[in-house]
Amino acid sequence: MHYGVNYTPSHGWFFTWLNPDWASVEKDFEQIVSLGLDHVRIFPLWPLLQPNRAYINEKAVSDVAQMVHLAGLHGLNVYVDVIQGHLSSYDFVPTWLVSWHDTNMFTDEKAIQAQAHLVKTVYEACEKEKNFSGLTLGNECNQFTDISHPHRHPATAGQIQNWLEALLSPMEKKAHEQGRILVHSENDAVWYEENHAFTPRFAAQLGDVTTIHSWVFNGVAKKYGPLSFESTKHARYLMDLSLAYSDNPQRQVWLQEAGSPLNVMTAGQAPEFCSQTVRAALSHPQAYGVTWWCSHDVSSQMADFPNVEYSLGLFDEHGQLKEVGKAYRDTIARCRDEFEYDENSKQNHDDHHSTTALVVPTRHGEPVMRAAQAAGGSVFTTWMNIAKQGEMPQIISSEKAHDARYCSSRGIHDLVEVQLEAGDAYEAVSDPSLAEKKSQQ
């Protein structure tokens, strides 16, 4: 099991990459280690790594390796995201993809080749560090395809599959030989948004583990309340939902992002939300780990972030551990004891994992109606209602529900059919104030 945090540098936010203050970075790592965490996920900036399609900035690449190295000195493993891409409402797209050179990062063959080359370059720069644990293609690159994006990179699902495979495949053999993981990451539009080009099947089948980004400012907290069962089990639900789309019954699921967003809860509610969310996720038998968003608050000196982004840290801008940080630390400590990985079953221990599974209607391995999976939708509601009784149900696709061997391999004995009904509460855009601002322009 892996316990970690998404690393947001305390000094200069991700702009620290422009001129890394390594002493400050090491201090940040010390603080992170003090919480009992074992890893960080880090985010270099794409325009610094690859300022021209054919030119990789070696200094920026070596800075990534250096950050991995320093984390290792403090006992932290590191997962590196390559294509940023998108961070906290800001898009970082190299100049060779925009304006006069506008092209589509997902479908332009030369752009795809360049990104694959960058993935390989960053991987190889880090591989000498023992604590380099794996690589994520990038942070929620799927946002660029989304219909709500102000400057879309539209793509079909087939084109996205091609993009994912083009970036993952070249490194798979080496990563597996080295015991490292290669994954990709998306926000919840994958699970909830009709016609979104990144699909549940890609999320659950491509890459070595499935990554989940759970943010209850997606309508769940507003509809049910921030400390409701629905909100605090949202991450866990997504983990279970994702398994419906995997052919591998043992597929592991990484809660790669979850946070306590203060646009839908008070600071006083944040610690409890954190504890319950993390506990529910870590108790999942197939949990790979959890990585909280984020380590350090964004400095109030930085302008124009959506308000919610300033206060997601475990540490505040003065370096003080916040209540949510203590809650995360303490929850992790308890979960380490309670949900110890069982070498025999190859699973984490969980008393609450049900042998009942919801059957979600699928076609060609994809959901028939993603909106039914979203807040207020029938899949979501049925799962929550059963889970409230005490055992969290599994979820299985209609195309696999009658495969006895597969069901058995997942420990599924009972099936609950679900009639599809769309949810009414999903909000696709992470920060309503930005969406509103855009719509007024």
- Residues forming contacts to a copy of itself in the complex (CB under 8 A) are 12-13, 15, 18-19, 47-48, 51-55, 57-60, 89-93, 95-96, 98-102, 110, 149-151, 301-304, 434, 438, 441
Task: Please report how close the Cβ of residue 307 comes to a copy of itself at its closest, in angstroms.
Answer: 14
- Strand 353-360 with 414-417, pairing: parallel
Name which of 97, 191, 227, 82 is nearest 151 in CA terms: 97
Q: Which is nearer to a copy of itself, 17 or 273 (CB)?
A: 17
Q: What letter would DSSP give residue 310?
A: G
308: tokens are: 């919610």
Q: Which is nearer to a copy of itself, 193 or 309 (CB)?
A: 309
Q: Which is nearer to a copy of itself, 144 or 288 (CB)?
A: 144
Task: Please report how close the Cβ of residue 92 comes to a copy of itself at its closest, in angstroms.
Answer: 6
Q: Which is nearer to a copy of itself, 12 or 411 (CB)?
A: 12
Number of DSSP helices (H) and strands (E) in the chain, helices first: 15, 17
Q: Which is nearer to a copy of itself, 304 or 343 (CB)?
A: 304
Task: Please report how close the Cβ of residue 104 comes to a copy of itself at its closest, in angstroms.
Answer: 10
Asked if residues 336 and 317 have their Cβ atoms less than 8 Å apart, the reply is no
Enumerate residues 6+ apart whose C-beta is below 8 A from 441.
Answer: none
Task: Please report how close the Cβ of residue 233 comes to a copy of itself at its closest, in angstroms.
Answer: 29
d(CA 374, CA 371): 5
**Biggest alpha carbon–alpha carbon distance for the chain:** 58
d(CA 67, CA 374): 37
d(CA 70, CA 108): 36
Task: Please report how close the Cβ of residue 281 comes to a copy of itself at its closest, in angstroms.
Answer: 28
Task: Please report how close the Cβ of residue 278 comes to a copy of itself at its closest, in angstroms.
Answer: 29
Task: Please report how close the Cβ of residue 45 comes to a copy of itself at its closest, in angstroms.
Answer: 9
51: Cα separation from own chain's centroid: 26
Q: Which is nearer to a copy of itself, 131 or 145 (CB)?
A: 145
- Strand 353-360 with 362-363, pairing: unpaired
Asked if residues 202 and 168 have their Cβ atoms less than 8 Å apart, the reply is no
Q: Is the dihedral of CA 152, 157, 158, 162 positive or negative?
A: positive
Q: Is the dihedral of CA 398, 400, 402, 408 positive or negative?
A: negative
Asked if residues 21 and 12 have their Cβ atoms less than 8 Å apart, the reply is yes
Task: Please report how close the Cβ of residue 17 comes to a copy of itself at its closest, in angstroms.
Answer: 9
Name which of 145, 195, 135, 142 is nearest 167 in CA terms: 135
Q: Which is nearer to a copy of itself, 53 or 284 (CB)?
A: 53
Q: Which is nearer to a copy of itself, 229 or 310 (CB)?
A: 310
Q: Is the peptide bond before 294 cis (omega within 30 degrees of 0)?
A: yes
Task: Please report how close the Cβ of residue 21 comes to a copy of itself at its closest, in angstroms.
Answer: 10
Q: Which is nearer to a copy of itself, 196 or 329 (CB)?
A: 196
